[in-house]
A = this chain, B = another copy of it.
Amino acid sequence: MTDFTATRAAFHLPEGMIYLDGNSLGPLPKAVAARVAQTVTAEWGDHLITGWNACGWMDMPARLGDRIGRLIGAEPGHVVVGDTLSIKVFQALAAALKLNPDRRVILSDTGNFPSDLYMAEGLISLLGPDYELRLVAPEEVETSITDDIAVTLITEVDYRTGRKHDMAALTAKAHANGVVTIWDLAHSAGALPVDLAGAKADFAVGCTYKYLNGGPGAPAFIYVSPRHADMALPALSGWLGHDSPFAFDLDYTPGAGIARMRVGTPPIVQMAALDAALDAWDDVDMADLRARSIELSDRFIAGVEATCPDLILASPRDATQRGSQVSFRFADGYAAMQALIAHKVIGDFRAPDIMRFGFTPLYLNEQDIDAAIEILANIMRDRLWDTPEFKQRKAVT
């Protein structure tokens, strides 16, 4: 049984703050500061260029990849860390389309995170106008998987509503129709059990600054199934994905398997932070995590619905259909969220009217949930959000 009191103690949580935004940026694991200081001062400072070998820097993308791989059901040796999620989406999509060369349609849904769609647009701008990005409503994805689709590009958990796709079922239907699948795990990795190998997923990508707590701008990851890893071409063919980077050949020869999905020089300081953050996961059972996440989320929904009649649940009521977040619709949601943040309950807002709350069992407990509900209830009851200050939107939220 996972000890969530112990995992909570591993995080720096500012006094008096209730942090329900770990689905956007996870809080600081206490182990990170010392590890980053060591990487900067002892490793970079004293080893300089020799750190690439002496301090294991060169191996970090694959080593961290395997640490994350364990949490998402990947086969060992099939995940690498690097770049940003947008870049990894591009790389997966370019490779997946090449594996299905006779088809031209990328299927995605309107609940996907926009950057995934933008990267698909950008790729199509290079490939030519016979390629198509076909967008359907999230509920229509399953029926839209037909034998003219080349690739599905689907985020498992909707960033706004928390609605969760059925990865195993959609992947099976995709394969029955000759479609290659890409799963974006931005709101899945560290949020709920993922079984990439069991679902026979083809590609997966994700970020590490949300539920994995790697810090602001922590690097992304990419998974390529063993079935494709030696055939998939990265398109973003950088020197660290070369079969022999230090031979400095003039021609590109892709490295073996997932290694080819590396691109440029990895961000070592940021990776050190992530490495330390991943320690918090060592003794976590993902089934326990899921059970606890549902407990906390259901408790929040019940409490908010009992006290805030103006907030309309935007997430599926059935917990098995959700990720690890809960969203409510409210026309003045932006102002309400600003008021909530002013009262030190941190969630976030997503246009047009979504108030979003993340439930992260590693560091949240029942007391947090109950206190957040009470503060939110006060704000709604007394219309504390209804001030010019809170209603004025900033450029960035």
- Taking the closest CB of chain B, its distance from the CB of A220, in whole angstroms, is 7
A-B pairs with lowest CB-CB distance, top 7: A84-B264, A115-B239, A86-B238, A217-B267, A122-B237, A216-B268, A86-B264
What per-residue 1/0 map shows which CB atoms of A107-125 lie under 8 Å from chain B? 0001001110111011101
Question: Given A87-B264, A118-B252, A252-B121, A40 and B36 touching (CB < 8 A)?
Answer: yes
- Name the contact of A218 in the complex, choosing from B12, B215, B267, B348 (C-beta under 8 A): B267
Q: How many copies of the chain does the oligomer comprise?
A: 2
Which B residues lie within 8 Å of A94 (CB)?
126
CA distance A218 to B270 in the complex (A): 9
Residues of chain A in range 145-164 having any CB-CB distance to chain B below 8 Å: none
Q: Which residues of chain B are near A236, meaning CB under 8 Å?
A: 86-87, 90, 119, 122
Known contacts A83-B84, A126-B235, A265-B217; is-contact A49 B33 (Cβ 8 Å): no
A37 to B28, CA, bound (A): 12
Determine whether A242 belongs to the interface, using a CB cutoff of 8 Å to chain B. yes
Q: A36-B40, A36-B269 are in contact. Are A220 and B86 (CB under 8 A)?
A: no
Determine if A168 is an interface residue (Cβ-Cβ < 8 Å). no
Q: Could you list 28 examples of A-B contacts with CB < 8 Å? A: A25-B49, A27-B48, A28-B41, A36-B37, A36-B269, A44-B215, A44-B216, A50-B346, A53-B396, A57-B216, A84-B265, A87-B238, A90-B236, A115-B238, A117-B250, A117-B251, A118-B237, A118-B238, A118-B252, A119-B238, A121-B252, A135-B250, A207-B265, A215-B268, A216-B267, A217-B267, A267-B270, A269-B273
Contact: A87 with B233, CB < 8 Å?
no
What's the nearest-Cβ distance from chain B to residue A351, in Å?
6
Contact B264 A220 (CB under 8 A): yes
In chain A between 235 and 294, which residues have their CB closer than 8 angstroms to a CB of chain B? 235-239, 242, 245-252, 263-271, 273
Residue of B nearest to A94 (CB): B126
Indicate which residue in B85, B121, B269 contacts A270 across the interface (CB closer than 8 Å). B269
The answer to the question of A19 belonging to the interface, with a C-beta cut-off of 8 Å to chain B, is yes
Are A267 and B396 in contact, with the CB atoms below 8 A?
no
A186-225 Cβ-contact flags toward B at 8 Å (1 or 0): 0000000000000000000001010000011111100000
Choice from B46, B235, B248 contacting A350 with Cβ under 8 Å: B248
Q: CA separation between A37 and B40, bound complex, in Å? A: 10
- A372 to B: closest C-beta gap in Å: 15
- Chain A residues bordering chain B, tally (CB within 8 A): 93
User: How far is B119's CA from A251's CA once the two chains are assembled, in angstroms?
Assistant: 10
Bound-state CA distance A242–B114 (Å) is 10
Nearest-neighbour CB distance to chain B for A94, whole angstroms, equals 6
Q: Is A32 part of the contact surface with B, judged by Cβ < 8 Å?
A: yes
- CA distance in complex: A27, B114 (Å): 39
User: Does A138 sit within 8 A of B, measured CB to CB?
Assistant: no
CB contact under 8 A between A123 and B126, given known A48-B21, A83-B87: yes
Question: Looking across the interface, which residue of chain B has its beta carbon closest to that of A394?
Answer: B53
Bound CA–CA A293/B36 (angstroms): 33
The distance in angstroms between the C-alpha atoms of A266 and B87, with both chains bound, is: 12
Question: A246 contacts B118, CB within 8 Å?
Answer: no
Contacts A235-B122, A250-B117 known; A49 to B37 CB distance under 8 Å? no
A4 at the interface (CB under 8 A from B): no
Closest beta carbon of chain B to A14's beta carbon, Å? 5
Q: Does A127 contact B (CB under 8 A)?
A: yes
B24 contacts A44, C-beta separation under 8 Å: no
B40 touches A21 (CB 8 A): no
A115 CA / B252 CA spacing, docked (Å): 8
